[in-house]
Structure 1
Amino acid sequence: MLKGKRISGRYKVLEVIGGGGMSNVYLAHDMILNRDVAVKVLHYSFNDEEEAKRRFQREALSATSLNHPNIVSIYDVGEDEGMHYLVMEYVKGMTLKQYINEYAPLAPTRCVEIMEQLTSAIMIAHQHQIIHRDIKPQNILLDEDGHVKITDFGIAMALSSTSFTKTNSVLGTVHYLSPEQARGGIATKKSDIYSLGIVLYELLTGELPFSGESAVSIALKHLQSETPSVRAIVPTIPQSLENVVLISTSKDARHRYPTVEKMRDDLETVLSLERAHEAKFVVPEDHDATKAMPIIKARPIYDQQSEEVSAIVQPPKTSEKPRKKKSKLKWLVALIGALLIIFAVLYFTMPQFFSAKKIAVPDVTDSSLDHAIDKLQGAGFAIGKQTTQNSSAINEGKVINTRPAAGTERQKGTEVDLVISEGKAKKTMSDYIGKNIDQVKSILEKQGYKNIVVKKSFSSKEIDSVIKQSPMEGSSNVPSETTITLTISKGVAENILSNLIGFDENALKTYANSSGFNIKITDEAFSDDVAKGQVMAQSIEAGTSLKVGSTINVTLSKGMEKKPAKRFVKTVEIQFEPEEDDDGEEANYQKIKIYIQDATHSIKDVHQEFRIYDDIKKNITLEIEQGKEASYRVERDGEVLYDETISYDDL
């Protein structure tokens, strides 16, 4: 156990994170660069085997020439106290196999996204004349952001290598092995394309195309059986995407994609509307002359110390001298053979005598769960597992598909699994405040957000950094149906300060928004010149160049200061001048009415009313408010004697 050991005094081993037949992989910490790394250590049992050490060193040499974001980087290779090791990039996450086991079948969009990354990585390897030869989900890592990285180029072999000869030692994993590798032939670039097709099949269905009780039986299926239809398992998969699987896994390498670049090009348009009604790919008929097929003979598949696969099949050696058989044994063998042939003919021509009647699984796609169960049970099937999966086509709570798929014939009583829709996949919004807009847009677009609106605003924050986002962090939404609004900083600018005298509060707000200045009302004062509520003074002179975000203090007018009312006293002389009546006699009195309009009286009301019998003098007092006028009127027997108006400013 290496836990706690420092390899070459630099890499402190923390824990075991993986292993295989040749090596173990440890999580370690680089004490010099202060980072976590993965360290692959060759088993001590291989120290005396030069071929094992050469293969281990070849992994380092192959991978160090490859620099790509979807290929695990190699940092260092060395030997410490007889221990051969390789230091690699540590990818925190899981293997693609673990991801498939947990989430498959995956949505077509996610499958295409993963495959585009894988084909991009293999393109680089092929450009360097390197064939991976062991592409499988176990050799593909998935980081916490959902990006894939290919590792384990240990069995890769440079095409230009002088050791590249046909051999019975074909390494790889049988479930993903190309027919030519299974036959004991040379692995080519098209062998990697075949393995990529098997990986895509597994992503789409959650199943392997070929299975069996032994590695030999699986290898034979790679050689002899056509790849099953992914649409038979998941009917919602587009035909164009199934065609990618069928082309890449063609038995004859001539019918596969000519290069991995062509496969990637096909993936880029596979979900486009233009290919919605694409016809199913059919392998072209081969009209060449009849070819001799190699005789298949099974050999042991797995070495006891390795997880890698040896040659699956090879032509047998011809015995020098046939062994003589006793005639009785010959007749017995012939009889058994004849019986087996008769049984086989009956079995395939009249299967009804050997097996129970099969019925087709009903199509319950887009049905409610209760209705689907009733329909399946009514047809004679048992209900198996019920799992959930996101779907953009099927509403939440409805059935996406069944396993076995609709139309597949099975015996009565067979369990049928149901996949129930959870509706469209939702994403939880992260906090993007402070991050660069290009980085944020890239992340959002990879998550499926298409409607991204970017607004700009002055800010003291770094230019192009997000200062506001909608929806907020933590909210859940469907990417294809959500508009993301991001406000980014356009930095600190300078503007010329305007003359704010006469601006009211609304005008100040409008100006602040357009200029980027911070306008602050700090005081109020009386003014004879500026109306109430308007700016009468500003802290910084108009015409000054200021940075956006600068604060300008302003003083608002309270209007004119209110002065006390003025008192006006007017003395009027009222003469007694009675008129004669019809009899020629004078009246002995006259009626006097006084009206006042001031701060406390209305001219409509009689202020004083009295009689006079002689000439009198009368004081009239008026209270006159600032900016206003006051008046009085004196009447004698209805005749106006005095009518005068006095202004506040006249006093």
Structure 2
Amino acid sequence: MIGKTLGNRYEIIEKIGGGGMALVYKARCRLLNRFVAIKVLRKEFVHDEEFIKKFNRESQAAASLSHPNIVNIYDVGEEDDTYYIVMEYINGITLKQHIRNNGKLKPLEVINISTHIAEALNHAHENHIIHRDIKPHNIMITKDGQVKVTDFGIARAVTSSTITQTSNTIGSVHYSSPEQAKGRYTDAKSDIYSLGIVMYEMITGILPFDGDSPISVALMHIQDPIKPPREIDNSIPLNIDKIIRKSTQKDKSLRYDTAEELLKDLRLSKNNLEDDVILFNDFEDSPTQAMPIIDDESINNNKVTESSPKRNNKKNSKKKKRVATLAIILAFLITAGAALGFFLLQGYLNDDEVQVPNFIGSTVEEAKLKAEELGLNISVVKEEYNSEYEKGIIIEQSKNEGRTAIEGSVIDVIISQGIEVVTIPKIAGQYYNNAEILLNDKDLKKGNVTEEFSDLPVNIVISQSPEAGEEVAKGSKVDYVISKGPESKLTTVPTLIGSNVDSAKNSLSAYDLKLGDITYEFNERVPEGIVYEQSQPSGKEVEEGTAINISISKGTEPAPEPEPEEEPVTKNFKFKLPKSEEDRDVQVQVYKTEDGERELVYEEVHNTSEKEFETSITGEGDVTITVYYDGEEAQTKDVKF
């Protein structure tokens, strides 16, 4: 694939990753002159028509998403049985790599990363798209700390058409919800469960469930309770523990209803790590109760009771009347006694009670003078930022105006710290999605956003108002202008076919166009050195500066010399098994890719204590050998046989 151009636009530069479903390459978009990531489906999937339909449908749906925490999908295409997705290129690492590099993460970092993931999920769910494969492997962290969720909408196509590809599920089963493990209906709450497992791994450094096989792990998600994070590490803040436990409830009805609810608790916890501030904390207060089954026997028993003799009905009726009469008399006596006690107590207390005045809007000194006249005391318990009242003014009181209080009582009040001020960050020069993140981090809002032509690249912020460094009230709006790139001017493509290279170059220059790639191929009908094909037809209007590719004839192709037939060659290979602190079994799979065909040539279970294993492989010419341990790609080597 290296060096190939897809869609006459995306030039493949290097391989940067891969999994059981696809290979990922870094490419350059010739049209916009930027780097992109291209996910190319493996050959074994391209002949599954149902899968290809779902793959295209789900990928195009995901392409409609636009959010700073979601990897953008730019294009979906197919060329010569090569199906691919063009995505935003992220220069960074996966969250899985970040956890491996750092172990368990700090609480504030866990909340920040989780908030960005939840914001991405909330945007997708509002657009009726469920991810279905949230795991650290599908979450990217850029070098400047941005969090990006990838593979939106693709998981739905994979799970329905590649269920037999066990290697695809090994990495995901650790994060799957109970309903996914059962093959039941999945919805937004399934994504919330998976995010809860990701949070668990971030804060503890370990997964809640692990086993010898994907099936055993799936059963644990269905049956076994999750050990609370604070039982693993009691230094974990209570709020994070509660959020994780609510998100990972096996009963969907006890989880957060929406990602927005989860976001509210995450945002509250960010500034109150040690205080119990969780809003949606009802998962322990409503235990599931078994209800009696209404079956035919129950209905029949009920009918027998209703058809008892009239004699019994009369006795029961008399008893019920006597019980009802006694109940009415007793209720009357209790009510009368309570009323009498209330009036006696009220009369006793009225001598020492005063009505609480309104302290809101007063200074503390004014409130104290007013309170002393009534025999009350004022206590300042808290200061809060407030946009309505100036600094030092009371904004809340523990007992409202008009209520009664005993003389000597203390009225708690909260006073204003005034408007909370934040410093405007510099967003000029940033991409527009980065600008939104910078504003959100400062609790500022996106204001009026306009677009203008400029020499800056597309989607770069040209200017902002207010300027960077200015101090404004928290929650203020910031207006900015985004670049639409240079203003395009149109020109006409000249006729290049029939000319030589120099003439073609001069013609293009005269029309303010550039010469693009030159391809040389044999052509029996066109003399050597003459252009026989151009990438844009003559007479078409294109932007000035567009590169036009041409094909030049090499003349008639000489008769090829017969090549000696190559015999298959068998070679022995040794591969190191993964290192492990404890000896464990590893499922080993070795694939060879030869002439575009992929074949499983070795599959065994080895113990890590063996250190390495050996196998022989037969092949011809250039062969790619790929080794998987427990379904995850471990190493790839190109071998010439």
Using structure 1 for the length normalisation, give the TM-score.
0.43
User: What TM-score, normalized by structure 2, do the two folds share?
Assistant: 0.44
**Structure of higher CA gyration radius:** 1
